[in-house]
Structure 1
Amino acid sequence: MHILVDRITEKTGLDPEKVEPAVGIMLNFIAKNSTREEVETLLEAFPAAEGFLAIDEATENKGLFGGLASKMNASVGVLAALNEMTTLGLTVEDIQKVAKETVEYTREKAGPEFTDEIVARVPGLAEIT
């Protein structure tokens, strides 16, 4: 298990089997709405993110909105990401906890300025963190 999953589990009491794919969904959503350079910066600062992205790719398109997010705008993408996390059995409150800790961890690893720019630009991310 990764330190981020352990951290979220410890702080929230959530099941690590739900937290791990939820982090993947979050990071994949961020990656899909970021530039290639931003993704590379994120991966350099937080190398384990690549593993989380692979987790999400393996579970992608299972929610109600499925693959619609890739065909529609980013605001629908956040709804699809939220839907995927609820299919894991997470509540909206649980999702906010996972999102907040994931963004905070990214802030620690990649820096506050870089992370805050992404949070401000990615549609819906600021509302769930």
Structure 2
Amino acid sequence: MPLSGDAGHSGAIVISKSIIYLDVHVKKQSEEISMSELVTRVAENVGIEPATAEKAVGMILGFLQREAADGPVARMIEAIPGAPELVAQYSGEGGNGGLLGGLMSAMGGGGVMALGQQLMSQGLGMGEITALARETIAYAKERAGDEVVDEVVASVPGLSQFV
């Protein structure tokens, strides 16, 4: 069966689509493994359930995306595979942080304390929250570098005392 130019061209397109699909699939799988790596690390080192760790990390990253300096936090989140999706999934979780979080927000405040209230509403204690924040920041430094993450932390009032 002779091959026509169109058939050869069509085959190239199919091959290209397969390669693109494979590349996207491998990238997605890599992001899931990296995010799973962070969640597993947090769950094991903090001593909490993986589902709670995932939600809490998403809430922390979402908080940082809203509160930290735009440039550095965008670079940090992009450097952590799977982080943008985790932020999108959990950044609205926890409501307003309960009564205290609601009062703080009404007074124009909140910040780190409101995040703490939101994490407490997920059943985490202060020791767990501090350990969770430290693990998340340590992982972010491994991925984005100390300088970028230090800029993020310095741009959020009160955060440095927890990490």
Deviations 1:55-88 (A, max 9, x none): 3234242521259649824xx2211110010011
Output the amino acid matched with 1:54: A
1:120 aligns with 2:154: yes
CA contact under 8 A between 1:61 and 1:67: conserved in structure 2?
no
1:79 counterpart (106, 113, 123): 113
Count how many residue pairs are aligned between Structure 1 and Structure 2.
127
| 2:140 aligned to which of 93, 100, 106 | 106
- In the other structure, the counterpart of 1:5 is 39
Q: Name the SS for the 1:59 alignment partner.
A: coil
Moved more, 79-88 or 11-20: 11-20
- The 5 Å alignment of 1:37-48 reads 37-48=71-82
Shift in Å, 1:40? 2.6
What TM-score do the two structures reach when normalised by structure 1? 0.85
> What SS does structure 2 have at the residue aligned with 1:122?
coil
| 8 Å CA contact 2:61, 2:91 repeated in 1 | no
Identity score, percent: 34
Q: Which runs of 5+ in 1 are unaligned?
A: none
State the AA in 1 paired with 2:114.
A
* TM-score, with structure 2 as normaliser: 0.69
Letter in structure 2 aligned against 1:87: S
Report what 2:30 is aligned to. none
Give the secondary-structure state (helix, strand or coil) at the position aligned to 2:62: helix
Please tell me the root mean square deviation across aligned C-alpha atoms, in Å.
2.2
Uncovered stretches (5+) of structure 2, i.e. residues with no partner? 1-34
Q: Which 4+ residue blocks in structure 1 deviate beyond 3 angstroms? A: 66-71
Query: Is the CA contact (8 Å cut-off) linking 1:24 and 1:52 kept in structure 2?
Result: yes
- Higher RCO (CA < 8 A, seq sep 6+): 1
